[in-house]
């Protein structure tokens, strides 16, 4: 019986050392970003000496606004806030009506590739434009009315809800979809019975979240004169009636936080179900 041949440790090849990763691209990108940031600060006309006065100015204006708010204008502020909420609600509903069917078609596997590409490009383009730009374009046709703000919120919501929608459809488990197709269902039937029952909670959550965003955005749209609480804020800020501005800010904060809290609880209930006590 022959003895086993032992390997010579001197002839054993050493493990290959991985090559050191090249960081040239990362260094070039970091240098380019640094240069852009420096040029941006250098080109903007900023009086840097005034930054030291900023904390004191914030305290002074905070005292002017919140030391003695003008509560006599509260009824008018609540009415204007209600108009802003109505603007946000109408914009959300219109956005949902238009974006939901388009998002289903834009999902992978339910629409032709050319149409899917066009819809996704439209969604991306809409998201790149702020609501206030849409409002400025629309007001030339509808005038300075709350309808202008609602339409601007609706158009901007189409881009956001459309993207969220097709991503939610593509994240649905494939089992029910394959079962509906195996049963001979048409694309519309597959969407109705294989996709929609599973995606409904996600869609409802997205709609509520978009309503929260629109409530905050409606106050900003009021700055261009389409009505709502933002219109009052612009008017009293221009006249430097800081006590009234403080009261309006308190109303905006309280109403926005209340709507966010209620909507958040509803969304958690939809996504997580009732909590067992």
Backbone angles phi, psi at 187, to 5 degrees: -55, -40
Judge whether 250 lies within some domain. Answer: yes
pLDDT (0 to 100) of residue 90: 93
Per-residue confidence at 94, pLDDT binned at 50, 70, 90?
very high
- Structural domain range at position 115: 74-272
Judge whether 56 lies within some domain. Answer: no
pLDDT (0 to 100) of residue 98: 94
pLDDT (0 to 100) of residue 118: 93
CB-hemisphere CA count at 13 Å for 235? 13
> How many structural domains compose the chain?
1
Judge whether 35 lies within some domain. Answer: no
Query: Are the beta carbons of 248 and 77 closer than 8 angstroms?
Result: yes
pLDDT (0 to 100) of residue 22: 64
Q: Is pLDDT of 110 > 90?
A: no
Q: How far apart are CA 209 and CA 206, in angstroms?
A: 5
DSSP conformation class of 185? -
Judge whether 193 lies within some domain. Answer: yes
The encoded tokens of residue 157 equal 């919501």
pLDDT (0 to 100) of residue 20: 63
pLDDT (0 to 100) of residue 271: 75
Of the segments 96-100, 131-135, 214-218, 239-243, which one has the largest average pLDDT value? 96-100
Judge whether 113 lies within some domain. Answer: yes
Q: For 215-235, how does the pLDDT look when each residue is reduced to its tens digit (9 = 90+)?
A: 888 888 877 878 788 888 888
Per-residue burial over 187-197, b = 16 or more CB atoms within 10 Å of its CB, e = otherwise: eeebbeebbee
Judge whether 69 lies within some domain. Answer: no
* Residue 237 burial by Cβ neighbours in a 10 Å radius (0-12, 13-18, 19+): middle
Mean pLDDT of 30-58: 78
Judge whether 190 lies within some domain. Answer: yes
Judge whether 1 lies within some domain. Answer: no
CATH number at residue 160: 1.10.3720.10
pLDDT (0 to 100) of residue 184: 80
Q: For 150-188, how does the pLDDT look when each residue is reduced to its tens digit (9 = 90+)?
A: 999 999 999 999 999 989 888 888 788 888 888 887 777
Q: For 133-151, how does the pLDDT look when each residue is reduced to its tens digit (9 = 90+)?
A: 888 888 888 887 888 889 9
């Amino acid at each position: 019986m022959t003895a086993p041949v032992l390997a010579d440790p001197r002839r054993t090849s050493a493990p290959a050392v991985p090559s050191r990763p090249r960081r040239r691209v990362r260094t070039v990108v970091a240098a380019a970003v640094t240069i852009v940031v420096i040029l941006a600060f250098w080109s903007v006309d900023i009086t840097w000496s005034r930054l030291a006065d900023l904390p004191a100015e914030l305290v002074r204006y905070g005292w002017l606004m919140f030391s003695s708010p003008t509560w006599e204008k509260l009824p008018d502020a609540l009415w204007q806030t209600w108009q802003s909420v109505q603007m946000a609600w109408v914009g959300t509903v219109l956005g949902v009506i238009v974006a939901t069917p388009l998002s289903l078609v834009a999902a992978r596997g339910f629409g032709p590739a050319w149409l899917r590409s066009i819809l996704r490009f439209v969604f991306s383009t809409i998201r790149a434009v702020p609501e206030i730009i849409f409002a400025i374009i629309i007001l030339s046709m509808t005038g300075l009315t709350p309808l202008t703000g609602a339409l601007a919120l609706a158009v901007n919501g189409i881009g956001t809800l459309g993207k969220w929608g097709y991503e939610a459809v593509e994240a649905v488990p494939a089992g029910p979809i394959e079962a509906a197709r195996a049963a001979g269902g048409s694309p519309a039937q597959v969407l109705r019975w294989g996709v929609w029952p599973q995606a409904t909670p996600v869609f409802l959550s997205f709609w509520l979240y978009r309503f929260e965003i629109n409530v905050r955005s409606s106050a900003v749209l009021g700055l261009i004169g389409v009505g709502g609480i933002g219109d009052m804020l612009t008017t009293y800020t221009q006249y430097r009636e800081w006590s009234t501005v403080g009261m309006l800010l308190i109303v905006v904060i309280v109403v926005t936080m209340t709507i966010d809290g209620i909507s958040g609880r509803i969304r958690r209930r939809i996504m997580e179900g009732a909590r067992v006590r």
